[in-house]
A and B are shown apart, each in its own frame.
Chain A
Amino acid sequence: MTDPTVAEGWVAVPLRRLKEDARLISGVMSICALTSAINASARELGRQLDGKPFYETHHAGADRQVFMARCAAGGQEFLFVGVFDRESSLGVVEIYFAEFQQALAMLRPEKEAKGTGPSGDFEGELNRSLDALFGPLGKR
């Protein structure tokens, strides 16, 4: 049985386990493009401030929090975004995300990735993400 919300089928099992263990909230697929833009911004910010990219980001709201990080498997890099509320905590999400990363690294995707990894083209990545989310500039 496949999960319709998972683009890469082989990720479904460890992703489902992470979601259950860390008490993540589902129904957040629409924020993927925004996550991509935030990730590109955080990486560039890290390069400028610390000489190396920031890979993990945490935002705490009044009721909900979001944790974003990268993970790699099969030569592909993925962005992970987890949304959680007071039923979980950042510490719990971090430890289960670490287990998720390990589980993912041991899996082999059925086919090699066709896409390329981060190109270092910060502005390009950011603009593509924002275009995907809000539409091309001038047509909004």
Chain B
Amino acid sequence: MKTLTQIVAELSHLPGVAVAMVVGAIDGLIVETTGMKDAVTGGPDPRKHTAALGAYLYSKATRAADAARLGTPAFMRLEAQQGHICVVGARDVVLVTIVSPDANLGRVRLDMMNAARGVS
């Protein structure tokens, strides 16, 4: 069984992943995170906002999927102009990554889902 530190470290090594975080599903607070790649020194750190709102969006997506009788969401991806936010649920936490537009999203998705299964 991998530790949360190992999980976020491995996800952050995927090409195009700027940051990987483990976030509390209920409170939206960061449990474990990597540093921001290519972070501008002194610039605003987007991790706290992304973690809180990513977990919040995932909870709403879970409700929407439930309302549509689709079961639990397996993977959530928010596509924006300059990249993606990916979220996968894993028991009491969610895995959140910020991904660049040129990333291999299939690989990111696969690895995030595998990582979610390994969360104890």
Query: Using a CB–CB distance below 8 Å, which chain A residues touch chain B?
Result: 86, 88-92, 94-95
| CB<8 Å pairs between A and B, sample of 19 | A86-B26, A88-B56, A89-B27, A89-B28, A90-B27, A90-B29, A91-B28, A91-B52, A91-B55, A91-B56, A92-B28, A92-B52, A92-B53, A92-B56, A94-B48, A94-B52, A95-B48, A95-B49, A95-B52
With a cutoff of 8 Å between Cβ atoms, the chain A residues found around residue B27 in the complex are 89-91
With a cutoff of 8 Å between Cβ atoms, the chain B residues found around residue A92 in the complex are 28, 52-53, 56
Query: Using a CB–CB distance below 8 Å, which chain B residues touch chain A?
Result: 23-24, 26-29, 48-49, 51-53, 55-56, 59
With a cutoff of 8 Å between Cβ atoms, the chain A residues found around residue B59 in the complex are 89
The 7 A-B pairs at the shortest CB distance, nearest first, are namely: A91-B28, A91-B52, A89-B28, A90-B27, A91-B29, A92-B52, A95-B49
Inter-chain contact total with CB atoms closer than 8 Å:
34
- Expressed in whole angstroms, the Cα–Cα distance for A91 and B23 within the complex equals 10
With a cutoff of 8 Å between Cβ atoms, the chain A residues found around residue B51 in the complex are 91
- Expressed in whole angstroms, the Cα–Cα distance for A90 and B52 within the complex equals 8
B35 to chain A, nearest CB (A): 19
- Expressed in whole angstroms, the Cα–Cα distance for A92 and B58 within the complex equals 13
Nearest to A96 among chain B residues (CB) is B52
Nearest to A98 among chain B residues (CB) is B48
- Expressed in whole angstroms, the Cα–Cα distance for A90 and B48 within the complex equals 11
Nearest to B53 among chain A residues (CB) is A92
B10 to chain A, nearest CB (A): 24
Query: Which of B28, B49, B53 contacts A90, CB < 8 Å?
Result: B28
Other A-B pairs, 18, CB within 8 Å; known A91-B52, A92-B28, A94-B48: A86-B26, A88-B56, A89-B24, A89-B27, A89-B28, A89-B52, A89-B56, A90-B28, A90-B29, A91-B24, A91-B29, A91-B51, A91-B55, A91-B56, A94-B29, A94-B52, A95-B49, A95-B53
- Expressed in whole angstroms, the Cα–Cα distance for A86 and B26 within the complex equals 8
With a cutoff of 8 Å between Cβ atoms, the chain A residues found around residue B29 in the complex are 90-91, 94
Q: Are A89 and B48 in contact, CB atoms less than 8 angstroms apart? A: no
- Expressed in whole angstroms, the Cα–Cα distance for A90 and B28 within the complex equals 6
With a cutoff of 8 Å between Cβ atoms, the chain B residues found around residue A91 in the complex are 23-24, 27-29, 48, 51-52, 55-56
B22 to chain A, nearest CB (A): 13
- Expressed in whole angstroms, the Cα–Cα distance for A92 and B27 within the complex equals 8
B55 to chain A, nearest CB (A): 7
B46 to chain A, nearest CB (A): 11
